[in-house]
Amino acid sequence: MTIPADPLYQHLLLTAEQKFWRSVETGEAPCLFGVEPPRPKVEAVRTVDMSGSNAWAEFANLFRQTRQAAMNHERSKSELKALVPEDAKEAAGHGVRAKRSKSGAISLDLAS
């Protein structure tokens, strides 16, 4: 079986090889295509007290205040989606529009 070569893949492979050997020769860390290398995963092993952080306090307060609203929002989305008839491509009313994608997923938007 013969498979045609992908010229873009070959070009990128050769470029990567050239950059690798250049970094070996010069001793500098390789940086391929201007992308940072992936960071090593650090095992999470400690517990941190964030009570001294003003930013943490601000966002924790916002999180607590909006939690019920977020839960109501998610519930209303699922209930609205369940109300859309199976054969409907789009449903709208009371300022909300539901659209069914070709795959069958329903998305909700505010009607304008």
pTM over the 0.75 mark: no
Residue 102 in domain: yes
- Rounded to whole angstroms, the Cα distance separating 19 from 36 reads 14
Fill in the amino acid letter for 3. Answer: I
**Domain total of the chain:** 1
Q: How confident is the model at residue 87 (pLDDT cuts 50, 70, 90)?
A: very high
List the structure tokens of 47. Answer: 């517990």
Residue 105 structural domain: 88-112
Q: Classify residue 96 by burial, with Cβ atoms within 10 Å: 0-12, 13-18, 19+.
A: middle
- How wide is the angle at C-alpha 88 spanned by C-alphas 82 and 92, nearest 5°? 75
Residue 96 in domain: yes
Kind of pairing between the strands at 106-110 and 96-100 = antiparallel
pLDDT reported for residue 50 = 97
Residue 31 in domain: no
> What sign for the dihedral angle of Cα 67, 64, 56, 50?
negative
Residue 71 in domain: no
Higher pLDDT, 58 or 28: 58
Residue 29 in domain: no
CB-based contact 101:107 (threshold 8 Å):
yes
pLDDT tens per residue across span 1-57: 788 888 888 888 888 888 888 889 998 877 766 677 678 888 888 999 999 999 999
90 has pLDDT over 80:
yes
